[in-house]
Amino acid sequence: MRKADRILANQRGMTLVEIIVVIIILSIMASVVGPQLFKNVDKANVSQAKHQIGIFKSAINMYRLDTGGLPMTQHGLTALVKNPGVDGWDGPYLEDNEIPLDPWGNPYAYQSPGTSGRDYDIISYGKNKAPGGDSYNADIIN
Judge contact between 63 and 89, C-beta under 8 A: yes
How confident is the model over 71-108, as pLDDT tens digits?
A: 999 999 999 999 999 999 998 999 888 899 999 999 99
| pLDDT the model gives residue 19 | 87
Region 106-130: mean pLDDT is 89
pTM over 0.95: no
Express each pLDDT in 31-48 by its tens digit. 887 777 667 788 888 899
What residue ranges do the domains of the chain occupy? Answer: 43-141
Helices (H) and strands (E) in the chain, counts: 2, 3
Report the b/e string of 69-82 with b at 16+ CB within 10 A: ebbeeebbbebbbe
pLDDT the model gives residue 124: 92
Please tell me the predicted confidence (pLDDT) of residue 127: 82
Beta-ladder partners of 140: 124
Per-residue pLDDT at 1 exceeds 60: no
- Comparing CA positions, the residue from 119, 115, 135 lying closest to residue 127 is 135
- pLDDT of res. 136: 74
- 43-141: which CATH topology? Glycoprotein, Type 4 Pilin (3.30.700)
Please give the Cα distance from 92 to 78 (Å, whole number).
Answer: 10
Q: Mean pLDDT throughout 44-56?
A: 92
